[in-house]
Chain A
Amino acid sequence: MGVRSWLARRAVRAARVLVVECPGSWEVRVAVERAVRARGWRLALSPASADVLVVTGLADGEMAEIVERHWDAMPGPRARGRAESAAAVADVLDAAVLDLVDDGTQRTDADGRSGSASGDPARADDSTGHGDMDHGEMDHGEMDHGEMDMAPDGIPLAGASEHDRDGLEMDELPLRLGPVLPAWPAGLVLDLVLHGDLVVAATGSFVPVGAPAEVGAALVGARRCDDLAAMLDLAGWPDGAARARRARDAALDGRDEVAVTVLSALRRRIESSRTLRWSLAGAGHVTAESAPGFHVPEWLVGDCHDRLLVLADRARAATSGEGADVSSAELVGPETVAALVTGLDVGEARLVVASLGATAVREVVDV
């Protein structure tokens, strides 16, 4: 017993938290991130690596199903909580600690689960198209195999492709990106068809939510810093991302001058970093014709490095009080995003989405 509880107490100090950000709960998600960091915990990149699931905001309808799927994919010991406001975050995490170290709770939880492993949530989505079928049954390998020969365990096999690029036959692999992904706009879903890791077709949408998310003018500066941090995370420069988050936190705490100082220094480092320029140059190059049938806002033209600089400039402008609002000319709709990532590999597609900035990716009513 002694060893077991010692193990539990040690384990909980390195807890990993998977945050599910429901649209409109940006502030709460950031509060969770800050609390996680302050405790010396880490954020999880995938449900398999997570101990704690924290849902921020209100998860209803389709979002609630998605949350359940991710909860199912967590190995356990596991704990979950929902934070509706930034003030509630500390209590949610404290409760999660108690749940995690309590062997009794964990054993009951484990006993209540089906013996078979649940699927990769991203994959489970694909098997059901656009999420309008019953996911619960598909996930647990309880399907009747006789009915779905092409889909052992409910997962469709990679099919032969109709998109013929070069005369070589390729398998098609469906992949759903979002809505639960690190450094990803809340609620955005991209359904991709892959050849290897190349996106040959994509459709974009938002998980339907009750109230449309509006960005309060007071938060725009901090949000733009967060967009910059997400982009730097995906560019694989953790130190740069940490600086952008420091600026974000300063802006949230009302210390705008600190944020501006940090951002100015960061902007200089981004511009002078040859390795960053070399790695991003040419990635996700967008021209006015990149998304046939959609309006491409002018600021998108260029490659990911150009847009990274735009993100940095906007963050600095917003925190220093110039250009504090999000203009409608900046917005990019989900269908446009899907058109932009078609033809890129998955890594580039992720970079492109991040380079748009979560603040700008919105349901655009008037195109």
Chain B
Amino acid sequence: MSDASSLTTVGLPGLLLWAAALLALAVGAVALDGVLAARSEGAPLRPSLTRVVDETARLLRQRRRAPLSADTLVWRVGSSGLVVAALLMVAVVPFGDHVVSDLDVGIVWFNTMDVLVWALVWLLGWGANSAHSLVGGYRFLALALAYELPLMFALVAPAVGAASLRLGDVAAAQSGLWFVVWMPVAFAVYCLGVVAFSVWGPFAVPAGHDLAGGVLAELSGVDRLLAQAGRYALLAAGALFAVPLFLGGGAGPALPGWLWVPVKASVLLALFVLARRTLPSVRPERLMEVGWVVLLPAVLVQDLVVAVVVAVRG
């Protein structure tokens, strides 16, 4: 907690590099997911390796088609906004000693962006003027009600532990012991929140098979490309943000700090991708029960423990 923020701010031009890191992680997640899917289905592996390129080509070539009377403005704000929210999340993540913007309220910033995702996914469901999309939107709000409060309190734990909302300080405060070690509940709830706001894996019901794709059902062409990229980008952004928050930031042997951040993030991201294959979907009303009756009290106790430890220590 001593050497408060000695980060170099690279500003907006540096955002391109951060975007490249986010893109690389997201592409890796797509490839891993494709390979795992092909392996479990007994399909050929080779097409899944180049799927990112092929699918991008396919969607760039495809026409945009909107359903009758769709609210296209609102709908396209939803489909294109997810990538932006993900990029804004990682803008405050320090890679080693460098950061795009050294916000002194970085954790709150992240929280703001994840609440923005509520609006974006809902607009995506609403704008299409299609019953399946709309029901997908309802489902996302139901999930969000269940995961958001536990997620907020999970974000509180590292902030209390480091006595700062600035990500550089939070990372620096873990020089002795990573927060994930003594805040496991907060870390688990955080991961659950990330998977949920990315509409991924067990929490992909808003875009579920049973709704013919739900919030994604009517998207085509570049709109679909952006929405899908947004989901992967959010997942990757959540993994990147976990590094300064719980995984010791850039600290690690041999490799430079800026490299440790994406390395740690990709391990976490791979776990997120694996979760999709091993866990069945969670119906929103089931998550509500768990979110408020189990997770919320558990993460509050975690916050209390952290606060007591910090008070006793110093």
Contacts and interface: CB of A to CB of B under 8 A. Distances in A.
Interface stretch (B101-109, B187-195, B202-210): B202-210
Nearest to B57: A10
Interface string A341-358: 000001110110000000
B148 interface: no
Interface string B178-199: 0000000000000000000000
B68 A14 contact: no
A160 interface: no
A286 interface: no
Contact of A14 (B51, B134, B279): B51
B61 A118 contact: no
B280 A46 contact: no
A233 B208 CA distance: 9
B46 interface: yes
B221 A245 contact: no
A13 B210 contact: no
A14 B54 contact: yes
A123 interface: yes
Interface in B132-190: 132, 134-135, 138-139
B264 interface: no
Nearest to B52: A14
A173 to B, nearest CB: 6
B210 A40 contact: no
Interface in B243-292: 276-283, 286
A170 interface: no
B131 A10 contact: no
Interface in A47-64: 48-49, 51
B51 A242 contact: no
B69 A152 contact: yes
Contacts of B208: 234, 236, 347
Interface in A211-255: 233-240, 242-243, 245-246
A122 B132 CA distance: 9
A48 B67 CA distance: 9
Nearest to A234: B210
B213 interface: yes
A119 B70 CA distance: 9
A279 interface: yes
B138 A11 contact: no
Interface string B208-227: 11111100111111001000
Contacts of A117: 65-68, 70
Contacts of B283: 279, 283, 347-348
Interface in B22-43: 37-38, 40-43
Nearest to B65: A75
Contacts of A10: 50, 53-54, 57-58
A182 B67 CA distance: 20
Nearest to A273: B280
Contact of B279 (A155, A174, A275): A275
A338 interface: no
A355 to B, nearest CB: 12
A346 B135 contact: yes
A155 B69 contact: yes
A7 B61 contact: yes
Interface in A1-48: 7-8, 10-16, 37-41, 45-46, 48
Given A40-B44, A275-B280, A118 B212 contact: no
A122 B205 contact: no
B62 interface: yes
Contacts of A330: none
A40 B68 contact: no
A16 B55 CA distance: 10
A276 B217 CA distance: 25
A153 B62 contact: no
Nearest to B210: A350
B41 A347 contact: no
A117 B212 CA distance: 19
Nearest to B37: A238
Nearest to B69: A153
Nearest to A350: B210
B47 interface: yes
A3 B139 CA distance: 41
Nearest to B221: A75
Contacts of A275: 202, 279-280, 282
A14 B212 CA distance: 19
A348 B135 CA distance: 12
A175 interface: yes
A204 interface: no
A81 interface: no
7 contacts: A37-B41, A45-B212, A49-B213, A182-B209, A234-B210, A235-B280, A246-B42
Given A73-B65, A236-B280, 12 more contacts: A13-B47, A14-B58, A48-B217, A49-B213, A118-B65, A120-B128, A120-B130, A123-B67, A155-B129, A235-B280, A236-B208, A350-B211
Interface of A: 7-8, 10-16, 37-41, 45-46, 48-49, 51, 73-77, 110, 116-120, 122-124, 126, 139, 141, 152-155, 173-175, 181-183, 194, 196-197, 233-240, 242-243, 245-246, 273, 275-276, 278-280, 283, 346-348, 350-351
